[in-house]
Structure 1
């Protein structure tokens, strides 16, 4: 796999197998220089960090080799091709490997070292004689921190013996990474036969992945495969923030690229500004777990496409579209504010008319741009934007949506992206919701409570519990019991909507336990309204006989028959007064104590913790 600056070449040699020994004579000067490099050990080794895309930490370094700086053999491609022609690939490979391992003693502790190796080199008898182990012993390095990075650009003819050799090394603690996955001869079979610990995605799949839905689908497929097989993906060639963000959204574990850190002679850490970007994006991603289409701002899914000035020519617009084939439109901005939108299909349709090229190629794009595109503020919810989109005419339905922030151009998003994110949010929310009531479950509940604790405004936590639910369930059956749970959820939700603040929250802990987060310390009216409505509506779920008697007869936990009153609801309330709680656990314990006091009463009631 070639590095974009100097043509990345594996530390282990062998890529030029199509150039057989003696296939052409090497330049005498190059041959002399090459022999001098071998004799004087003049190999320069640089190291590029492999970064966690979860928290921005460095997990290891890839060793890359090149010839003496400023020489004719500085470029790895030229250096290794010369070694191939001189039939000195093994000697050069050994020198590169030795130089890398010698420098590894300066590597920060607990980091891995990625050493590139060609499949044909692994079969070499000299490679299998334990020279690498001897070098590790010499420099006091642990095999468990060494990853053999195997390029897939050279074919493997005998997978059975190749697998046997790999097992020999993994048995000693070495790990395996497959390089350039997604290109070359047999990527999928290579993965199936070698079963590596790491999969390194080819940089061509990473390039412009933020704009290419096909590449995103491919990487997502590899990610799903990696999850099922307990492998880790490393995305190579990350060069833009948009590429980085897209990879984080997909869930890719690790990354390399010039954006993160260039290969250098030193073992450098990640740039602080990039680490901050990674951490901030992951916080945002975690926050999306608790977003809905109603609460998520459209600015979160906008991409910052470079805008054009209305005086740009048609030729410049064509150049922009040709440079990025996935680009469907160009935002037109003047003095920082959006003034139009040039969609590719309509622009090309105008050029295709008689004299269209002659008229528009050298004239400003303001003549053809849509002067009234859909422009929304960063904080507009996805749901609101979706409503605005479907209100457009058919011919503009799929035009880009321009996003502003503080009234200035911020970016664009597509209708496709809007629909994808809305669907994703609904799927994610469904994962964390109770399947019966449809209310958010424990993960979202805990997040809401922690947010309330971290905030400065007053709040109340209302813990709802049904009294005598189990004997009702035993007497009337689970189907009727489920209807009671849905009724309870409906009653609480309705009263929160009528009497609670707009940002009130209700969750279903499980069974007959519900919880609400209300950003107000005064909830007496709300609690009483819930009780009144519940007590009224619960009567519709009992027979006339049970209502007349005021109880049902059911067996208790000891198997003895006992009278149980008509079901009631208890509400334990804990408020932020005094700010005596620091975490959700403390708050839950306090609510539990209040609930015990409520249970002493045989009718619906609420109690506020003192």
Structure 2
């Protein structure tokens, strides 16, 4: 053995003996939600074996691959839990290590249980770069991991051996496309077509695709257009020992991604459901916590905090009771810290987190319905929220919105529109309101039939939503052929013109070529007279209400209705921008009269 090889062997032995492996985490983002999917754990050694390629190559040469992978796995799990990172933990595992007879069985499950990490938060990444001789044994091994609750991913898809065969046999939850197909994919027709085929296969098999190794904005832009929403690479974030949990708004903006669509209002903040309840310090002994539970039979969980009032875990009554009821349980744990028995990976959310976002986290992590989540304010403990109450409230919200949604377009109806306006008035947040109405719709309906009429209304809904998806907006369907849009940015006029142009262009498909060529058709009016009816056009009234003078949604809607009436005076499509920003005196008096009659 030469001097360099001998040095590598010594360094490797020291690493395994002293556990000197450093874990870095690289975020994997869901760019459609602009949120974290999870983190890939990347291991680093020391000295001449710092980089993973040299480290694992040396372990393979000296038959220490199994030991090294287990060490890296434990360090990654331990660090992931201690940092309280959100999302899933992606762990790299060599197939040959899994099939090694000396590789201990059940060790990964033991590690997640030891550190209080749920198995369904761990994704086992099986790299495709290693050749596997016994495919059937690998399949059995992977199925064993899945039965334990772990998710499965194929890493480096397209870089090695029989990727599609592995995909069909292993049925992974995720496939990670090798960097080769991502690198300058925007300039390669072959790579683009390969990515398209991967996306189609993923849809057919219910698999999530992750693009890794993204380094250029152009690559990310193409991937988003193709429909790949999970992204990883230096462009987004480098591997770090303490990774960023989220990107700032300016960073998302710089990536030229499509802004998140906002055609419906966000749900309430989770803070409204928080229950004020005392927390216990991490040094509290288990016997003291047990006394707290015994003195209050309704108490089901206790938040555990550190010296800075930051939550680090959640202690559950049933788990503590079960331990104390076991033989010698009281003697073993009575004087130990509650940290020994607490849930080290509870769901912790800020009070301003929206209820629908929290609901998604609850669903992804499969929490016990009896549990609580921890609510914080600026990182410090605020209170608890029972999962049962959260899910009940979410269900009630969904039912309420479904009841008031328009059955034809499934867009929010009058109740939701009024709520959207009232919310902005209450928050004193500037906005514009557009009232959109179809012209000549009755004559079209009579001539072409109700089915075509419904299709035109759905077209107008689609055109409006599509035009507004680049901007913070709320799109609502009043009923019939009437729509309202609440604009929160200063691009209302531009978007209204876009709606008009797109609708006029696309609605021609519902007319015969003769009618399109003539610009309309002859029809009988209500008086029995023949008249020429133009093709479908739009009237839009746009207002920017004065927040100090408009007191409720009815006054704002009245403003928009008046503006729409002005727009309908024109024969062709027209956008009327109303300069009046406050309700007329007659409208105010009528509303006050209605309110007085209701209260009488």
TM-score, normalization by structure 2: 0.48
TM-score, normalization by structure 1: 0.47
